[in-house]
Chain A
Amino acid sequence: MIARGLLLLAFASVASANPVPVGPGTYRPTFPASPSEAAVPVAKFWLDRDPVTNTQFLAFVRAKPEWRRDRVKQLRADASYLAHWAAPDALGDAPASAPVVHVSWFAARAYCTWRGGRLPVEKEWELAAAASEKAHDARGDRATQDRILAWYAERTPARLPDVGQRTNAWGVRDMHGLVWEWIEDFNSALVTADSRSSGDMFCGGAAAKSQDPTAYATFMRLAFRSSLEARFTTPILGFRCAYDEEIR
């Protein structure tokens, strides 16, 4: 009875992912590959309104048991994968409506495929994340940038809040302030041989090639992403899905 109730709740939450349209727009990479790529057009796409929650991800794990933490291949997720759940198929004390964390890039990707979507690419995620409550592009807005930076500098809370804290001008919620998020090309920013060769991110090197050396919040996302490997999971890293077309 309890299990069925959870399942119903799970479906309700999946349905409420409510992708919202974002773009078209322009993305200005912090480290453009060439001068002609200083401004990159971004086509219209749909993005989950909220980060994927524990409840939503539980539904996926039940549907695709190969993604249970006791069955997942070690190549696809490290030892702390879904470590915050009470059991491989039960949340226990993990907050149902908080973003799912302790998920690997492989797992996030599999979830989005299961949902009929994909992970957003960097230019899509950053376009959606550049908005404040009022403006689509708030990258020059000091108050907005300070708030983002302040969240980055805070400690990870023992218990994550529920999704739906703050809505931006695209109608997307919690792009900042809840969790870091996986993107499809998380290691593309400065990748050379492998995802760990990110020498350009250190010391003065980071500022030398950047379009805006005061974009500290962007630097931090880049640094965070480039510290990852696809199987890594952390207590503050979640994700949301993107879609090329509107889905129901």
Chain B
Amino acid sequence: MRKSSVLLLPLVFVACERSDASRSVPTLLPAIDVTSMPTGEPLVAQLTQAPNVPHPIFRERPARVRVELEVKEVEKEISPGVRYTMWTFGGQVPGKFIRVRQGDVVELTLQNHPSSKMPHNIDLHAVTGPGGGAEPTFIAPGKQTTFTFRALNPGLYVYHCATAPVPMHVANGMYGMILVEPPGGLPYADREYYVMQGELYTTGKYHQPGLQAFDMEKGIDEKPTYVLFNGAEGSLVGAKALKARTGEKIRIFVGNGGPNLTSSFHVIGEIFDRVYSEGGTKVQENVQTTAVPAGGSAIVEFTVEVPGKYIIVDHALFRAFNKGAVGTLEVEGESRNDLYTQKRADAPYTGPIVRGPAMPVIAPAEGPVTGEGTYKRVCAACHQPDGRGMTGAFPPLAQSDYLASASKDKLVDHIVNGLQGSITVNGTTYNSAMPPMGFLTDEEIAAALTFVRASWGNGLDAIDKEDVARVRRATK
């Protein structure tokens, strides 16, 4: 035992020094050599209750790790005045967080407290093997059992009870998570939290006080009375809110026990810089809302720049508003008016503040005005560089019968004041709108029209900027 602690200490320091460099995306991980079993005294895993997470693992080698979980049936307050008999892994919902390293040999002891009324077991999604441990851990009240598995794949995995009727055991709170860290660990984060969503199906309505029983019918209909983070309404609110300071990198291990709903996990006012989608190895970046399936997970990471209160929700919003799926992240630090102005200006209503028609975004002209240049800059986006337009949307200008038959003044009017309503060009009727281009100079309009009339076999004569000026005055 002493030997292994001597070995471990320097590794911790090495890992800390490396922490900045390891902020980059991890490369593909070396495969675990399953033929070499870890030796030495088993380590005892330190488990934590949500929202806390055990310390990162910096071990360079796999080890034997002992995990002890006790199943207890306990009466809990799920909302003020509302109680429910939760079935738990470790006395709380969600179950205790387990953190091991890829390649570890995990000796898991499951105890079923003598006061339990039910037999229970555990199926860990991190296990490779039929049932995920369900069968070897199936135990009567007052018994305990141990089974061993090798953590082959890194990732964030859900565990749950798998005793019939399974949906009821899960709905009553029997779920938690196990993180299998890749060699070298996850990139550095300032804060790590554990948030797990789950549903409750109670015979009484939402917020109906007293001890509530499980409603099988609501479960089968997938209509939960409560959708909760960490087992109770208010488990992440007020004094229990998640805490951080501005500039800190936050990592949340998000899980969903279900048993029915997929979570649309979202932090209001934040963007997840990185998401390990579905708790796996691939990283998605710049995510607003991430889907966390029942019996699945996600690791979300973000840095908070602006101080204040951030609300954590299932963005299927009736669940947040009417079923309890709300938590809070409270961030302290200097205000950042350059990023976000916190003050609200209560000015009297003035009607539209920006007047005039909506303008297409067009780059300013550079260099001397030419017809071709103006056409490409302003007109080609719709009518296309070759003047052929787009069928059904923008009429063609090339070999256009409309162009040939319309008067010069009418064409200038279309450009200065726009065109609404239906027109027929080369036998096709177009019913869209051309925005007014009156912001162009007379010279630009004249040059563009001249270019169009002379190009693509149209063979029409030039238009002067004086003509444009005249039409502009006449139609003002």
Contact = CB atoms under 8 A, between A and B. Distances in A.
Contacts of A188: none
Interface in B64-110: 73-75, 85
A203 B135 contact: no
Given A149-B214, A156-B115, A228 B140 contact: yes
Nearest to B75: A155
Interface stretch (A4-12, A166-174, A230-238): A230-238
Given A201-B163, A214-B216, A154 B85 contact: yes
Contact of A196 (B114, B117, B138): B138
B119 A80 contact: no
A233 B142 CA distance: 8
Nearest to B217: A142
B116 A202 contact: no
B123 interface: yes
Interface in B386-439: none
Contacts of A133: none
Nearest to B134: A202
A235 B165 contact: no
B446 interface: no
A206 B164 contact: yes
A227 B139 contact: yes
Contacts of A202: 121, 123, 131, 134-135, 138, 162-164, 166
Contacts, number: 111
A222 B165 CA distance: 10
Nearest to A190: B164
Given A219-B165, A224-B119, A234 B213 contact: no
B113 to A, nearest CB: 10
A89 B164 CA distance: 38
Contact of B138 (A152, A153, A198, A206): A198
A114 interface: no
A199 B119 contact: no
Contacts of A17: none
B142 A235 contact: yes
A227 to B, nearest CB: 3
Contacts of B138: 196, 198, 201-202, 226-227
B172 interface: yes
B333 to A, nearest CB: 45
Contact of A224 (B85, B118, B135): B118
Interface string B205-224: 00000000111110010000
B115 A155 contact: yes
Contacts of B143: 232
Interface in A146-164: 146, 149-150, 152-156
A149 B220 CA distance: 14
B141 interface: yes
Contacts of A121: none
A39 interface: no
A150 B214 contact: yes
B140 A206 contact: no
Nearest to B220: A214
Residue of B115, B119, B162 most packed against chain A (CB within 10 A): B119
Contacts of B117: 152-156, 180, 236
A155 B74 CA distance: 7
B450 interface: no
A155 B215 CA distance: 16
Contacts of A222: 164
B164 A235 contact: no
Residue of B131, B213, B215 most packed against chain A (CB within 10 A): B213
Interface string A181-221: 00000000000000011110111101000000010100110
A111 to B, nearest CB: 20
B168 interface: yes
Interface in B45-68: none
Contact of B119 (A203, A206, A216, A227): A227
B164 A234 contact: no
Contact of A234 (B75, B141, B168): B141
A11 B172 CA distance: 43
Nearest to A152: B117
A153 B201 CA distance: 12
Nearest to B138: A227
Contact of B166 (A180, A203, A226): A203
Contacts of A145: 216
A223 interface: yes
Interface in B160-186: 162-166, 168, 172
Nearest to B160: A203
B203 interface: yes
Contacts of B163: 201-202, 223, 227
B85 A234 contact: no
Contacts of A226: 119, 138
A145 B213 CA distance: 12
Contacts of A196: 135, 138
Contacts of A203: 123, 131, 134, 162, 166
Contact of B216 (A146, A199, A228): A146
A143 to B, nearest CB: 11
A201 B162 CA distance: 8
Residue of B115, B118, B140 most packed against chain A (CB within 10 A): B140
B132 to A, nearest CB: 9
Contacts of B168: 153, 216, 220
Contacts of B164: 201-202, 206, 219-220, 222-223
A159 to B, nearest CB: 12
Contacts of B141: 234-236
B407 to A, nearest CB: 76
B393 to A, nearest CB: 51
Interface string A11-41: 0000000000000000000000000000000
Contacts of A155: 73-75, 85, 115, 117
Contacts of B213: 146, 149-150, 153-154
Query: Closest 10 A-B residue pairs measured CB to CB?
Result: A227-B119, A206-B164, A150-B213, A227-B140, A219-B165, A202-B162, A219-B164, A202-B134, A201-B164, A234-B141
19 contacts: A145-B216, A153-B117, A155-B73, A156-B116, A196-B135, A198-B138, A199-B130, A203-B131, A206-B164, A214-B220, A216-B165, A219-B164, A220-B165, A220-B168, A222-B164, A226-B138, A235-B141, A236-B117, A236-B141
Given A216-B216, A234-B114, 13 more contacts: A142-B217, A150-B203, A154-B213, A156-B73, A201-B163, A203-B131, A219-B165, A220-B165, A223-B118, A226-B138, A233-B142, A234-B142, A236-B141
